[in-house]
C-alpha cells in the first residue's frame, strides 16, 4: 500500500511538472531562447522546493555557471570563482603550499595525475603520472569536485594530508600520508655529466626560457660536447616559453602553430637561423604533456635530437584563461596545436625513438639517480656514441 501511495505521489508531481511546463511554454511561445529560460526557471524552482536539504543561493548560482562549462565534457575547461581564478594564476607566477602534484579531470571522471612536481612531497611519496586520486583525508572525490580536493590538499607547511591513490597499471590502491611543504617551482636544473650537459625542465612558466638560456650558457662555457634535455614529468605551461626554448635549439623554421574551430591560425612561433650545434637527446615519459610535447615534437620533426623514454601524455590542445570584470573567470579550450610537420598529438602522444622502461622500484629520476635511471643511462650511451 505504501508503495502505491509513493508511486502515486511521484506520478502526480511529474504530471504537475509537465502541465506547468506546458502551460508556461504556451504562454511565452516556443522560441529556443524562451523555452530554455522556462526550463531553467522551472528546474530551479523544482530543486529549491523538493530538494531534501537547504539550497545555498550563492552555491546554486556558481553551480549553474560551472554546469555550463562542465556540459562540454572537456577536462581542461572550467569556470572559476574569483578566489579560484586567483589560485589558478599562482601556478604560473608564484609559489604555494601543498603536496606538489599537477592534476586534471580524467576521461573516467577521476582526478588524474599529470605528474608530481620534481622533488615535491608528492614526488617523494611515489605518486606517479596517470595515478588517480580517489580520496583526500578519507573523503571520496571524483573530478567533478577537483577544485575542492585541491583546496584540501593545500595547507600549512608541515601539516599532513592523507591521500588514497588508485594506480591503473597495477589495479591496486594505496594510502599515503604526505607532509605539505612550500611548492616553489624551480623550473630548470642543470648538471655536467662527464662532457655531456644535462638540463631538466620541470615546467614552463614565465621565467623558464631565461633560466634555460642561462644554464645552457654556463654548460657551454664548460665545453660540453652534447646535451640532454629532460622533460620527464613536465606537465607543460606557457606555450610562448616552450617556443623560446625551441628557438635556442632549432634551425630556422616553424616551431608550432595552432588553429581554432574555424581553422583560423591562432598563433605561430618560428625559430631564427641560429641553432645549437650539438648532439641532443630528449627524455620524455607519460608525465610529459602539453608545452613539453611542443618541445619534444619540434626537436623530433627537425631530427635535431633523439627522443628516449616512454610515450608522452598526449595533450595537443590549448586553453585560454579569461578573467571577467567581476573577478571570476574561465579556462576554455580554444585551439589545437600542430608540430612543424603538421601533426596534432592530442590523445596520441609522442612516441620515443628509443623506448626504455624504468625499474618498478626506482626511487627517482634525474642525474641524482643515475645508477638506476635506465632512461638517462641510455641517453648518455647514445650521445657518447655520437660525439
Which are the catalytic amino acids? 290, 301, 315
3 state SS of 143: helix
**CA–CA distance, 384 with 387 (Å, rounded to integer):** 5
Q: 329: which 3 cell numbers?
A: 573567470
Report the C-alpha dihedral over residues 234, 239, 240, 242, rounded to 10 degrees.
30
- Parallel, antiparallel or unpaired: strands 280-284 and 306-309: parallel
Element (H, E) at 258: strand 253-259
Residue positions counted in the chain: 387
Are the beta carbons of 163 and 153 closer than 8 angstroms? yes
Helices and strands in the chain: count of H runs, count of E runs: 10, 19
**C-alpha cell at position 134:** 580517489
3-state secondary structure of 107: coil
CA atoms within 13 A on the CB side of 223: 0
| Alpha helix segments (H runs only) across the chain | 2-28, 32-50, 57-70, 82-93, 121-124, 146-153, 208-221, 239-249, 291-301, 374-386
Measure the CA–CA gap between 274 and 333, rounded to whole angstroms.
Answer: 33
**CA–CA separation, 322 and 386 (whole Å):** 46
Please tell me the distance from the alpha carbon of residue 160 to that of residue 163, in angstroms, as a whole number.
10
Q: How far apart are CA 142 and CA 155, in angstroms?
A: 20
Taking CA atoms, 12 is separated from 18, 44, 260, 321, in Å, by 10, 19, 48, 46
8 Å CB contact between 354 and 376: no
SS3 for 216?
Answer: helix
∠ Cα 286 289 290 (to 5°)? 160
Amino acid at each position: 500500500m505504501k508503495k502505491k501511495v509513493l508511486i502515486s505521489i511521484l506520478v502526480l508531481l511529474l504530471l504537475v511538472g509537465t502541465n506547468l511546463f506546458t502551460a508556461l511554454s504556451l504562454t511565452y511561445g516556443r522560441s529556443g531562447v524562451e523555452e530554455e529560460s522556462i526550463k531553467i526557471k522551472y528546474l530551479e524552482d523544482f530543486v529549491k522546493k523538493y530538494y531534501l536539504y537547504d539550497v545555498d543561493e550563492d552555491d546554486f548560482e556558481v553551480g549553474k555557471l560551472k554546469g555550463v562549462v562542465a556540459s562540454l565534457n572537456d577536462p581542461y575547461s572550467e569556470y572559476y570563482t574569483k578566489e579560484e581564478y586567483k589560485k589558478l594564476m599562482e601556478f604560473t607566477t608564484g609559489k604555494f603550499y601543498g603536496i606538489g602534484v599537477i592534476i586534471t579531470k580524467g576521461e573516467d571522471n577521476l582526478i588524474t595525475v599529470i605528474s608530481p612536481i620534481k622533488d615535491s612531497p608528492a614526488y617523494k611519496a611515489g605518486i606517479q603520472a596517470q595515478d588517480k586520486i580517489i580520496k583526500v583525508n578519507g573523503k571520496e572525490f571524483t573530478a567533478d569536485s577537483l577544485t575542492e580536493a585541491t583546496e584540501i590538499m593545500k595547507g600549512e607547511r608541515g601539516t599532513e594530508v592523507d591521500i588514497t591513490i588508485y594506480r591503473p597499471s597495477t589495479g591496486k590502491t594505496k594510502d599515503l600520508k604526505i607532509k605539505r611543504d612550500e611548492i616553489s617551482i624551480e623550473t630548470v636544473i642543470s648538471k655536467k655529466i662527464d662532457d655531456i650537459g644535462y638540463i631538466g625542465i620541470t615546467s614552463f612558466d614565465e621565467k623558464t626560457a631565461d633560466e634555460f638560456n642561462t644554464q645552457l650558457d654556463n654548460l657551454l662555457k664548460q665545453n660540453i660536447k652534447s646535451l640532454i634535455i629532460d622533460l620527464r614529468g613536465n606537465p607543460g605551461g606557457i606555450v610562448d616559453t616552450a617556443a623560446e626554448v625551441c628557438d635556442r635549439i632549432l634551425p630556422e623554421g616553424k616551431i608550432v602553430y595552432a588553429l581554432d574551430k574555424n581553422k583560423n591560425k591562432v598563433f605561430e612561433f618560428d625559430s631564427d637561423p641560429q641553432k645549437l650545434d650539438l648532439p641532443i637527446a630528449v627524455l620524455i615519459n607519460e608525465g610529459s604533456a602539453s608545452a613539453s610535447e611542443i618541445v619534444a615534437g619540434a626537436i623530433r620533426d627537425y631530427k635535431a635530437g633523439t627522443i628516449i623514454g616512454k610515450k608522452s601524455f598526449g595533450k595537443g590542445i590549448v586553453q585560454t584563461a579569461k578573467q571577467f570584470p567581476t573577478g571570476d573567470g574561465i579556462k576554455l579550450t580554444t585551439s589545437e596545436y600542430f608540430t612543424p610537420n603538421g601533426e596534432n598529438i592530442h590523445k596520441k602522444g609522442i612516441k620515443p625513438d628509443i623506448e626504455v622502461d624504468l625499474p618498478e622500484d626506482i626511487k627517482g629520476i634525474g642525474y641524482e639517480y643515475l645508477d638506476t635511471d635506465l632512461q638517462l643511462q641510455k641517453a648518455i650511451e647514445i650521445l657518447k656514441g655520437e660525439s
